[in-house]
Amino acid sequence: MGEFVSVEIIDQIATIRLDRPKMNALNRQVQEEIAECARLVDADPMVAAVIIYGGERVFAAGADIKEMAVMSYADMARHSSALQSCFTAVAEIGKPVIAAITGYALGGGCELALCADFRVAGESAKLGQPEITLGIIPGAGGTQRLPRLVGPAKAKDLIYTGRHVDAAEALAIGLVDRVVPDDEVYTAALELAATFVGGPAVAIRAAKQAIDHGLETDLDTGLEIERIQFSGLFATEDAKEGMGAFAEKRRPKFTGR
């Protein structure tokens, strides 16, 4: 689609591919192209799952520091909202999203991976939020999504120090979900994505919204979000098919309606 970010759809699995040599630095153009691709795959009823992939060498080494270095407070005050909204577009894809992480996922690259539902990393991958070493803090969701994923203490460790973690530590703290040999990262992501093809798409979207929105509020409000999503699914064809198939002892054939 764009100059640096494209979408390929095969067998109902969409791959959002970053390709800005040589480290996939996330400048403003790349951010906007990511958001455009995210909205495209979210709206496409033929897409069952999404993979975000930076290629065999690197996921994304972070924001374009040269671009940021010349920005004033007024510049960044205007741009920061757009920056966050680009990443939020990925987080709001109503389908399972898998980050296939090779090489570095640092700064904005790590924040992009945090927007996914699942993270598959290569054995030599490095993740981190090194913004503090530049005298700033993460600005594309790192201070919010990272502690929600790994807990506040681990998030503070990574953000306060700016240190990189290897794949083994990332797995141990819950920053990634699976570690595989470097040359198997994309294949492993495809295998995970394939498990959602043919599934009840409306129910998966409802589950994602209930979990994500519920985490932002108190338990009582979260339970109400769940109740509304749960009840609404009884108006879908997939719910009737799923329960009918259970009663008839056969495999359901979901249509996403």
Q: Which residues are catalytic?
A: 111, 131
CB 176 within 8 A of CB 120: yes
| CA dist 149 → 116, 118, 141, 144 (Å) | 11, 11, 12, 9
DSSP string, the chain: --SSEEEEEETTEEEEEE--TTT--B-HHHHHHHHHHHHHHHH-TT--EEEEE--SS-SB--B-HHHHHT--HHHHHHHHHHHHHHHHHHHT-SS-EEEEE-SEEETHHHHHHHTSSEEEEETT-EEE-GGGGGT----SSHHHHHHHHH-HHHHHHHHHH--EEEHHHHHHHTS-SEEE-GGGHHHHHHHHHHTTTTS-HHHHHHHHHHHHHHTTS-HHHHHHHHHHHHHHGGGSHHHHHHHHHHHHTS-------
Q: Give the residue from 8, 115, 132 showing the smallest Cα distance to 60.
A: 115
> How far apart, in Å, do the first and last CA atoms of the chain sit?
28
